[in-house]
Amino acid sequence: MSTVDDRRGQVGRLTSLGRRPEVGAAIAVVVVGVFFAFQSSTFLTLDGIANWTDVASTIAIPAVAVALLMIGGEFDLSAGVMTGTAGLTMGILGTEVGLNIWLAIAITLAFAATIGFLNGYMVQRTKLPSFIVTLATFFMLQGINLGVTKAIVGGVIVGGIDKAPGYDLAHSIFAGTFWSPHDFQLSLVWWVVLAAIGSWVLTRTRIGNWIFAVGGDAEAARNTGVPVDRVKIGLFMTTATLAALTGIMIALRLGSMQAGQGVGEEFQYIIVAVVGGCLLTGGFGSVIGSSLGAVIVGMAFIGIQFAGWNTDWRFLFLGLILLIAVLVNNYIRRAAEGAKS
Amino acid sequence: MTTATPTTPETAAAPLLEVRDVAKHFGNVSAITGINAKVKAGEITCILGDNGAGKSTLIKILSGVHQPSEGEMLVDGVPTVFTSPRDARAVGIATVFQDLATVPLMSVWRNFFLGSEPEKGRGPLRRMDVKKAQGIMREEMAKMGIDVRDPDQPVGTLSGGERQAVSIARAVYFGAKVLILDEPTSALGVKQSGVVLRYLVQARERGVGVIFITHNPHHAYPVGDRFIVLNRGKVIGSWAKGEIDRQELVQLMSGGAELEALSHELEQATGESPLPSQAVLPTSENPLPPGIE
């Protein structure tokens, strides 16, 4: 044991850097960025950056909450389809029902939070794995998205959202652009702000301490007086709400929403959280890391396109990145936990 | 420091915690009956007993998890009923469970203050006072004789004994008057057990009443001020330090007479013919005829 102490004294700075969950993702951002910069001359121009930050932001915003949820030891497979549910709900309320778009947005967010609450309540009450509970939610929402949309609209697309009252202001806030010739998406600003808040809550507030604790060892957390159920249910609600916000942004930008929107996206959120250093078993990870993971995915999707390759390759890339990330994280975890034996 | 002195058990101050004729029944089964025990400030009370002796039932009553079926509990001489572990914690009774007290992947300071984080700032800017938390943690751990050089070090990298120390230091810092330790040494090696015993003594020196539950008389004897031995849910004896020697304690713990009878039996079995008694086992548990194997 004393040998560990001595070494800690010498390489303290390096050890504490290596202990940060997002280190691997930060290195990967540089590697992937440099790689695609050599493949395409537009990749690192302002136009290029506006392109891949756009792709990254729609993954990164829900991933902020997904990362917190994973650190809290749970999964939400319904987060992807929730973007579709939210866009459709807002769209139908704004067009078929004829509500003001702002009221539609408020109702949609409240509805999403309720679904999140039900997810969390079911998981905590039944003690079933969240993987199963939210998988059920995923399929139920997917069915509802298609069934309800067809029943109300008579097709699989809710259109004409741009004609709803209040649309223009909502569009400029949730789906506008800035920096005129390059047209960066405002979702980038939302992403930065939400990631900063999420990271601050996780690392600096007592709620953040509780999130680490409920994911690391729920029983120990309960023994020290942490309200485990409330923390976990709150995380499910945050995840559903941020997924819904993303869906609202997409619907406002397109002016329409497809009933199949968001299916499969949940895995991208989980992938970027894992790439960013979140452990699948909970208790360890970072919000910044998940955002870096989203940057990697955004760069790869756009970089592959810019380089003129077949975009199907991006899935191979996603899979590879995920595998490497899990291997590296596993190694870090052993290093952090293993010294005791 | 405190008025209690181990050599004169009947001092004026009321014990921190006392149980009188406590019993607990689960349906028809009496887990413990007629238990009397006192815990005084600045003393280590060892509760010894083999598995099934009723130790864990007694701890659960003391820490508020169970309510006694009979008898009463006195806190500072006042009869008290705990309806939940929170009640016990509120009057300063802290229980350190064997392995369920710390989160391995979290840093030492985060574990130390888990559930009671110090905060600063107002409204939405309310946040943990990390500097303060780290400072207090280092100070408190230093009192236990541990120098935490890196407060961000995950608890999982500490040794088993040091992890117990984090739990003990935390309980003492948050005002525990009575510290209940459930088998703190059972999962540890010889050296680490010694380390934990030293922490118990440190806590006693600071005026805490310590309840040390163990099945190992060799761990209890060097640190205990009072020994209570349980067997089959009853107190078979209670001694102050000096009234009993180590050998007697070991004898009692291993159920003296029972062990003698067992060694007799074993002698007979091996002496006469060990085989028939072994051959009984497979036929009684497994109806298959022996020939099949």
The model's pLDDT over A81-140, given as tens digits with 9 standing for 90+, comes to 999 999 999 999 999 999 999 999 999 999 999 999 999 999 999 999 999 999 999 999
CA distance B100 to chain A (A): 5
pLDDT of residue B11: 46
Chain-chain contact of A205 with B152 (C-beta, under 8 angstroms): no
If you ran DSSP here, which 8-state letter would residue A264 be given? T
With left for phi above 0 and alpha for psi between -120 and 50, is residue A179 left, alpha or beta? left
- Record: contact A212-B105, CB cut-off 8 A: yes
By Cβ distance, the residue of A9, A333, A340 closest to B149 is A9
For residue A266, what pLDDT is reported?
Answer: 94
The verdict on B94 touching A (C-beta cutoff 8 Å) is no
Looking at residue A189, what is its pLDDT?
96
Interchain CB distance below 8 Å, B101 and A340: no
Tokens linked to B72: 């009463």
Neighbours of A157 (CB within 10 A): 16
Output B194 or A262, whichever has higher pLDDT. A262
User: Is any Cβ of chain A less than 8 angstroms from the Cβ of B127?
Assistant: yes
What are the tens digits of pLDDT across the range A218-240? 988 887 888 999 999 999 999 99
Q: Which residue has the higher pLDDT, B242 or A142?
A: A142
Cα distance from A6 to chain B (closest Cα, Å)?
Answer: 11
Task: Taking residues A280-305, report their average pLDDT.
Answer: 93
A10 pLDDT more than 80: no
What is the count of residue pairs from A and B with beta carbons less than 8 Å apart? Answer: 95
Neighbouring residues of A226: CB distance < 8 A, sequence distance ≥ 6: A210, A213, A214, B114, B115
Least CB–CB distance from A206: residue in B100, B101, B119: B119
Cβ <8 Å between B103 and A12: no
A80 vs A2, which has greater pLDDT? A80
User: Using CB atoms, which residue from A8, A213, A223 is nearest to B150?
Assistant: A8
Mean pLDDT taken over chain A: 90
Which residue in the set B116, B126, B159 is minimally distant from A340, CB to CB?
A: B159
- CB A212 to CB B159 under 8 A? no
Letter string b/e over residues B18-35, b meaning 16 or more CB atoms within 10 A of that residue's CB: bbbebbbeeeeebbbbeb
Helix (H, G, I), strand (E, B) or coil at A65: helix
Please tell me which residue of chain B has the smallest CA distance to A223.
B101
CB atoms within 10 A of CB A40: 17
Helix A287-306, helix A23-39: angle, nearest 10: 10
Contact A212 B103 (CB under 8 A): yes
Average pLDDT over every residue of A171-180 = 92
Q: Which residue, chain included where needed, has tokens 């973007």? A: A83
CB-based contact B104 A15, cutoff 8 Å: no
Interfacial B residues in 95-114 facing A (CB < 8 Å) = 97, 100-106, 110, 113-114
**What is the C-alpha to C-alpha distance for residues B60 and B52, in angstroms, rounded to an integer?**
14
Q: How far apart are the first and last CA of chain A?
A: 10
The span from the CA of B137 to the CA of B146, in Å, is 11
Q: CB-based contacts of A114: which residues, under 8 Å, 6+ apart?
A: none
What is the reported pLDDT for B250?
Answer: 82
pLDDT(A311) > 60: yes
A1 or A86, higher pLDDT: A86
DSSP sequence for A75-104 = --TTHHHHHHHHHHHHHHHHHTS---HHHH
Structure confidence at residue B252 (pLDDT): 78
Within chain B, which residues score under 50 in pLDDT? 1-11, 273-293
State the DSSP H helix or E strand holding residue B44, giving kind and residue range, or none if neither.
Answer: strand B44-48
* Residue B112 main-chain phi, psi, to 5 deg: -60, -40
**Of residues A53 and B230, which shows the higher confidence score?**
A53
CA A120 remoteness from chain centre = 17
In this predicted structure, what is the pLDDT of residue A175? 92
Cβ(A32)–Cβ(A296) below 8 Å: yes
CA distance A266 to A80: 4
Say what the pLDDT of residue B243 is. 86
More confident of the two residues A260 and B258: A260
Structure tokens at A45: 């121009």
End-to-end CA distance of chain B: 70
Residues B171, B164: Cα–Cα separation, whole Å? 11
Under the banding of pLDDT at 50, 70 and 90, the label for residue A325 is confident
- CB-based contact (8 Å) between B159 and chain A? yes
pLDDT at B64: 83
